[in-house]
């Protein structure tokens, strides 16, 4: 379980999270959607203690990340949007570092090797990370997030940079992890991916939850034909687009 209770966050004069209260339940794949600047990454980073709320409470598998960030990192697997890896290590050395950091026993170390092979990194294992393609780096980052078999997975734009094969593998892994009773939360700007993969969708706009439910529920609620249409309507983007088109037509 990943939960937020009346969470606020401000950077300078900019209010990023405005009283968010929401639960991401276990056994479910959750898509967290929103325009740029809506607060998605801030919520994700709060789950592992990288960002502290100004007020309110965050809990991840019973842990408060603001009070116990190291414990939060043990119960949550996190893959940031930015690729944060050591270019001077090889993928196998990176996994060795991850194993050491999490104190993985033999059983979990074996899981790590299986993930390494599943994501097609065997042939890349002894190259320097700095020499890898963006897709290979993204795969390695995902393996690191999954390595310690955490009960909660928070993945920020995990499909960015992945080729079709890598994306297909990740979709199946996410479904399998949810079927094992884990909480899986991911952000994406690709609406068809969210619509096909997510059991529950949460849409943020200006730091607030503006819509939440199964994709079919959301489509029915606003009489939309697709999740993309739901997204455009609930965030007001469709009105802004029509307004801009009107300006262009008037100018022509």
Q: What is the pLDDT of residues 9-41, one digit of tens each?
A: 999 989 999 999 999 999 999 999 999 999 999
DSSP state letters, the chain: -EEEEEEEEEETTEEEEEEEEEEE-TTEEEEEE--TTSSHHHHHHHTTTSS--SEEEEEETTB-TTT-HHHHHHHEEEE-SS----TTS-HHHHHHHHHHHHT--HHHHHHHHHHHHHTT-GGGTTS-GGGS-HHHHHHHHHHHHHTT--SEEEEESTTTT--HHHHHHHHHHHHHHHHTT-EEEEE-S-HHHHHHH-SEEEEEETTEEEEEE-HHHHHHHTT-SSHHHHHHHHTTHHHHHHHHHHHHHHH-
Residue 245: the pLDDT is: 57
| pLDDT above 90 as % of the chain | 75
Q: In terms of pLDDT, which residue wins out, 150 or 243?
A: 150
For each of the domains in the chain, give its residue range(s) and CATH number, in order of start: 2-251 (3.40.50.300)
Structure token pair of residue 192: 């068809």
What residues have CB less than 8 Å from 9, skipping those under 6 apart?
Answer: 15, 16, 17, 39, 42, 46, 51, 53, 54, 207
pLDDT band at residue 249, thresholds of 50, 70 and 90?
Answer: low
Residue 67: the pLDDT is: 93
Backbone angles phi, psi at 67, to 5 degrees: -90, -30
Strand partners for 200: 30
Mean pLDDT for the chain overall: 91
Q: What is the pLDDT of residues 87-122, one digit of tens each?
A: 999 999 998 888 888 888 776 677 888 898 999 998
pLDDT band at residue 80, thresholds of 50, 70 and 90?
Answer: very high
Across the range 75-93, mean pLDDT stands at 93
Across the range 146-163, mean pLDDT stands at 94
Q: In terms of pLDDT, which residue wins out, 58 or 97?
A: 58
Residue 243: the pLDDT is: 63
- The pTM assigned to this predicted structure is 0.92
Residue 2: the pLDDT is: 97
The burial class, CB within 10 Å (0-12 / 13-18 / 19+), for 192 is exposed
Across the range 206-228, mean pLDDT stands at 94
How many other CB atoms are there within 10 angstroms of residue 176's CB atom?
Answer: 11
Residue 84: the pLDDT is: 87
Residue 39: the pLDDT is: 94
């Amino acid at each position: 379980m990943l939960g937020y209770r009346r969470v606020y966050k401000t950077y300078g004069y900019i209010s990023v999270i405005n009283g968010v209260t929401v639960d991401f339940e276990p056994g479910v794949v959750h898509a967290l959607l929103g325009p740029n600047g809506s607060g998605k990454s801030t919520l994700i980073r709060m789950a592992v203690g990288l960002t502290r709320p100004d007020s309110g409470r965050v809990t991840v598998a019973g842990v408060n990340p603001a009070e116990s960030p190291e414990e939060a990192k043990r119960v949550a697997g996190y893959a940031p949007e930015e690729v944060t890896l050591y270019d001077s290590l090889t993928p196998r050395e990176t996994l060795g570092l991850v194993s050491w950091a999490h104190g993985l026993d033999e059983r979990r170390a074996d899981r790590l090797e299986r993930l390494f092979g599943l994501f097609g990194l065997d042939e890349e294992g002894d190259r320097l990370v700095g020499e890898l393609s963006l897709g290979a780096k993204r795969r390695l980052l995902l393996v690191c997030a999954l390595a310690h078999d955490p009960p909660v997975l928070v993945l920020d734009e995990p499909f960015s940079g992945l080729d079709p094969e890598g994306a297909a593998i990740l979709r199946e892994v996410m479904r399998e992890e949810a079927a094992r009773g884990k909480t899986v939360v991911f952000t994406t700007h690709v609406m068809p991916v969210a619509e096909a993969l997510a059991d529950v969708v949460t849409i943020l706009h200006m730091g607030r939850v503006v819509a939440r439910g199964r994709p079919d529920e959301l489509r029915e609620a606003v009489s939309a034909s697709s999740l993309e249409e739901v997204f455009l309507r609930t965030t007001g983007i469709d009105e802004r687009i029509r307004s801009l088109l009107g300006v262009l037509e008037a100018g022509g």
